[in-house]
Chains A and B, each alone.
Chain A
Amino acid sequence: DAGVTQSPTHLIKTRGQQVTLRCSPKSGHDTVSWYQQALGQGPQFIFQYYEEEERQRGNFPDRFSGHQFPNYSSELNVNALLLGDSALYLCASSLRGPNEQFFGPGTRLTVL
């Protein structure tokens, strides 16, 4: 079992550009959550996907959007990038409910 995988590992973009991050959940998991972790801070919840729908959302603007595919993999899209979007983006998968989340290694996004 490969666990949760994320791609790419690192990404450099300029302000105003758009970015897509990808996540493959652990085998058997049906729920994917995305987090933003700024340097020196805890992960901040962006949103959660289950059954291809956004089920819950944190305090992030509409520039942050996502998608879940029938195979449970997920994408995080960020439009009109700002310098403040520079962070480690973590994907976590789980079974539906308050179960243990398994985290991927993250994608480090740098916005110049």
Chain B
Amino acid sequence: AQSVTQLGSHVSVSEGALVLLRCNYSSSVPPYLFWYVQYPNQGLQLLLKYTTGATLVKGINGFEAEFKKSETSFHLTKPSAHMSDAAEYFCAVSDTGGFKTIFGAGTRLFVKA
């Protein structure tokens, strides 16, 4: 069975500071990993995904994530936070067939001026 754990339901950073959102996964098969962002009263939007190949994945809006198999982690980072980054972020894992995607509980990012 697959599962996702996001460490920290709330993260607060100052504008311009590093953003680090943590995600650990469990999967019995090579996972496909995703980060999605959700703004208030909206659906989810894909930030980035890891399927195979390069373990450092770059996404939209300056975000990136690194797949570390030995640590079963897929943490999301951004060098410099903007006010517009304030949102809910979800890490997700999918089986290789893409039949079922499991989401974490989410981390709400607050950005202070």
Q: Do residues B95 and A100 form an inter-chain contact, with CB atoms below 8 A?
A: no
Q: Which of B36, B42, B98 contacts A98 (CB 8 A)?
A: B98
Q: Do residues A90 and B98 form an inter-chain contact, with CB atoms below 8 A?
A: no
* In the complex, chain A residues whose CB is within 8 Å of the CB of B44: 43, 90, 92, 101, 103
A49 to B95, CA, bound (A): 16
A87 within 8 A of B: no
* In the complex, chain B residues whose CB is within 8 Å of the CB of A33: 101
Residue of B nearest to A9 (CB): B41
- Interface size class on chain B is 20 to 34
* In the complex, chain A residues whose CB is within 8 Å of the CB of B49: 100
Looking at A48, A58, A101, A102, the one whose CB has the most chain B CB atoms below 10 A away is A101
Report the minimum CB–CB distance from A5 to chain B (whole Å): 10
A43 to B100, CA, bound (A): 12
Q: Do residues B42 and A97 form an inter-chain contact, with CB atoms below 8 A?
A: no
Looking at B34, B44, B45, the one whose CB has the most chain A CB atoms below 10 A away is B44
Q: Do residues A98 and B95 form an inter-chain contact, with CB atoms below 8 A?
A: yes
A55 to B4, CA, bound (A): 22
Q: Do residues B97 and A42 form an inter-chain contact, with CB atoms below 8 A?
A: no
* In the complex, chain B residues whose CB is within 8 Å of the CB of A44: 103
Report the minimum CB–CB distance from B21 to chain A (whole Å): 13
Report 19 cross-chain contacts, Cβ distance below 8 Å, ordered by A residue: A4-B43, A31-B98, A40-B106, A41-B105, A42-B104, A43-B44, A43-B103, A44-B103, A55-B99, A56-B99, A56-B100, A58-B100, A90-B44, A92-B43, A96-B98, A98-B95, A98-B96, A98-B97, A100-B46
Chain A interface (Cβ within 8 Å of chain B)? 4, 31, 33, 35, 40-45, 48, 55-56, 58, 90, 92, 94, 96-106
Report the 7 A-B pairs with minimum CB-CB distance, sorted nearest first: A98-B98, A103-B43, A42-B103, A56-B99, A98-B32, A103-B44, A97-B98
